[in-house]
Amino acid sequence: MADQNCDNNRVAPRQSSASNGHNLDSAYPKPTSFPRLNEPAPDFQAVTTQGSAKLADYLGRWLVLFSHPSDFTPVCTTEFIAFAKAHPRFQAIECDLLGLSIDSVSSHIAWVRNIKEKFDVAIPFPIIEDLTMQVAHAYGMVQPGASDTSAVRAVFVIDTESKVRAMLYYPMSNGRSVAEILRLVQALQTTDRHKVATPEGWTPGAKVMVPPPKTVAEADRRGREDAGCTDWYFCQRKVEDAVAAVR
């Protein structure tokens, strides 16, 4: 049976001696707003399996911040193995990976060691300890309809200026496609670099979409003269040709 909740053995909510036994929700109020596309990503400072981390550490690089429901669960393990294997490809496009769950660093370390022992896969990226759920709540990773005490499978693609460029939410029972997340980052980078759009299923090297014309005259010209256009609003080209057309 699939690990539908990925947290069946968890207890909740967590308590802290620093909060005198009060529920952590009262010690750390939930935010009233959540990230939106093209707006600044919520700032954070956190403890990870590779030391402390903050959002500013990733300025100038792309970042995929992703949450998982719990350590030592099967679906989460398959995802981490896939992220680890794809890590060199993310690094090649100047994109870092950062995991998160509402577990302790000790739990993360034990799980990472277990993955290396059982699957011979090293996890090269850091994982945030979020026992207080501060980061998870700030990013809307905790969905009460799924669980009040675990993060769902959320993905945030954050650009070089710390702006949220894409958000994905998956249920606890279903794993993500790491290949699709990589493709999405590549598509966003292509859009930024060349001022073009990418069609359904686009992969690097495939044709891109030229932005629609801004004047009637340009629309008429495209419809009559442009061999790359199916119609005035629908034009596909290789990236190099598309850049020339935009100019």
Which pLDDT value is given to residue 165? 99
Rounded to whole angstroms, the Cα distance separating 96 from 166 reads: 15
Provide the annotated active-site residues.
76
Q: How many Cβ atoms are within 10 Å of 35's Cβ, its own excluded? A: 18
CATH superfamily of 17-176: Glutaredoxin (3.40.30.10)
What is the SS3 assignment for 8-33? CCCCCCCECHHHCCCEHHHHCCCCCC
Domain boundaries, the chain: 17-176, 208-246
Which pLDDT value is given to residue 190? 97
pLDDT score of 174 more than 90: yes
pLDDT tens digit string along 27-84? 455 555 689 999 999 999 999 999 999 999 999 999 999 999 999 999 999 999 999 9
Token look-up 């493709």 returns 183
Which residue would you say has higher pLDDT here, 59 or 21? 59
Question: What pTM did the predictor assign?
Answer: 0.83
**Does 153 carry a binding-site annotation?**
yes
Which pLDDT value is given to residue 11? 34
Choose among 100, 110, 90: nearest CA to 184: 90
Choose among 56, 38, 40, 130: nearest CA to 96: 56
